[in-house]
Amino acid sequence: MPEMTYRDALNLALKEEMRRDPMVVTWGEDVALYEGSFKVTRGLLAEFGEKRVLDTPISENTIVGVAVGAAMAGLRPVAELMTVNFALLAMDQIINHMSKIRYMFAGQTHLPMVIRAPGGGGSQLGAQHSQSLETFFMHAPGIHVAVPATPADAKGLLKAAIRDENPVMFLEHELLYNSKGEVPEDPEFVIPFGKCDVKREGKDVTIVAYSRMTVLALQAASELEKEGISCEVVDLRTLSPLDADTFVVSAAKTGRAVVVEECWRTCGLGAEIASRIYENCFDKLLAPVERVSGLNVPMPYSRKLEKLCIPQVGTIVAAVKKVMNEKY
């Protein structure tokens, strides 16, 4: 299998799907001529032309709204929001329309559309450009949410998202674009939504993570192994549908669980995951579920302070040690 970056894997997924299906189009701010702010749409304009690769005016709500209309009219649009932070401008279209149009139209229409949005903190971009908003989208019924951690997952999940009849929020992590990994060449390599991936097997504690947090969790697991602690790392891959079965089975097996989330702790997805574990295998737990979360403050501009707000390998290691020493 060739090795490629997360960025190139996404780009390849887009190209393969646009070659496969002429109804797949993409639009957003700076996606055509400039090839995307993070260069994920590189080469698309040259290959597919300006009918299928469109630069839009700066109007996020309408970038999504136009995709909703086009999807109902038979296209499979992949709309790019320059960053997930700008999705807040489009929340009316996302929550009031995209997520519930199928329901409100009595199931008459599918909505095969994807919104790609880079996000996450760690690049010193300040409070308004460093957010992790995944929980916002996970909260609403009717939207699928993908959060790939590796280049292979990025490719397989994006292809699945484009082929899905449901609207998908596809959340990419800005700090992962340059990460490398092996990616299957098979153009039919598609990763189904709603399936966690056990990225590392272990027996003492389960770490549940997603996106960049999975990468950090794997690093933490390697460190902990040196101290004789065996971690099982469950990568969620999609937040909606949420494959609770896999992480519940894992938590029941190890008896301990740490959930790592980049988003704010209050009402964050870690709370939902911990709750699912408690609901389904409370009697198998040896210790309370631990949450490692983003700090509940706007993201600081200062590099030093920003680091304190985002889970790090060290904080995950500390959380694992804490659950190892706790007992009910």
Partner 1 sequence: MPEETIASLAVRRLSILDESGTADAALLPSFSDDEIRRCYELLVLSRAFDTRALALQREGRIGTYPSILGQEAAQVGSALAIAKSDWVFPSFREMGMHITLGYPLDLLFRYWAGDERGMHAPDDLNIFPVCVSVGTHIPHAVGAALAAKLRGDPIAVVTYFGDGATSKGDFHEGFNLAGVYRAPVVFICQNNQWAISVPVARQTAATTLAQKAWAYGFEGVQVDGNDVFAVYRATSESLEKARSGGGPTFIECLTYRLGDHTTADDASRYRPAVELEAWRGRDPILRLRRYMEQKGLWSEAYGKDVQQQAEARIDEAVHMAESAPPPEPGEMVDAACATLSPRLQRQRDELVQTS
Interface residues toward partner 1, by CB under 8 A: 25, 51-52, 54, 56-57, 59, 61-62, 64-75, 77, 92-93, 96-97, 100, 102-108, 110, 141-142, 164-166, 194, 240-242, 244-245
Tokens of 182: 């092996």
Q: Work out whether strand 3-5 and strand 180-182 pair parallel, antiparallel, or are unpaired.
A: antiparallel
Smallest distance from the beta carbon of 321 to partner 1, in angstroms?
32
User: Is 60 an active-site residue?
Assistant: yes
Q: Which of 48, 56, 50, 113 is nearest to 82 (CA)?
A: 56
Q: Which is nearer to partner 1, 76 or 173 (CB)?
A: 76
CA 119 to mean position of chain CA atoms = 9
Q: Which is nearer to partner 1, 102 or 116 (CB)?
A: 102
User: Is 35 an active-site residue?
Assistant: no
Q: Which of 157, 154, 114 is nearest to 137 (CA)?
A: 114
Q: Which of 35, 60, 232, 290 is catalytic?
A: 60
For the chain, first and last CA: distance in Å? 46
Smallest distance from the beta carbon of 74 to partner 1, in angstroms?
6
Cα gap 288→10, rounded to integer Å: 37
Beta bridge partners of 234: 198, 208
Smallest distance from the beta carbon of 144 to partner 1, in angstroms?
8
Q: Which is nearer to partner 1, 195 or 322 (CB)?
A: 195
| Core vs surface per residue 99-113: b (16+ CB within 10 A) or e | bbbbeeeeeebbbbb
Q: Around 195, how many Cα atoms within 13 Å sit in the side-chain half-sphere?
A: 9
Tokens of 36: 């995307």
Smallest distance from the beta carbon of 138 to partner 1, in angstroms?
12
Smallest distance from the beta carbon of 197 to partner 1, in angstroms?
17
Beta bridge partners of 114: 78, 168
Q: Which is nearer to partner 1, 96 or 266 (CB)?
A: 96
Peptide bond into 241 cis (omega under 30): yes
Q: Which is nearer to partner 1, 69 or 288 (CB)?
A: 69
CA 306 to mean position of chain CA atoms = 21
3-state secondary structure (DSSP) of residue 309? helix
Q: Which of 29, 35, 80, 129 is catalytic?
A: 129
Smallest distance from the beta carbon of 65 to partner 1, in angstroms?
3
Q: Which is nearer to partner 1, 72 or 198 (CB)?
A: 72
Which residues form the catalytic set? 60, 129
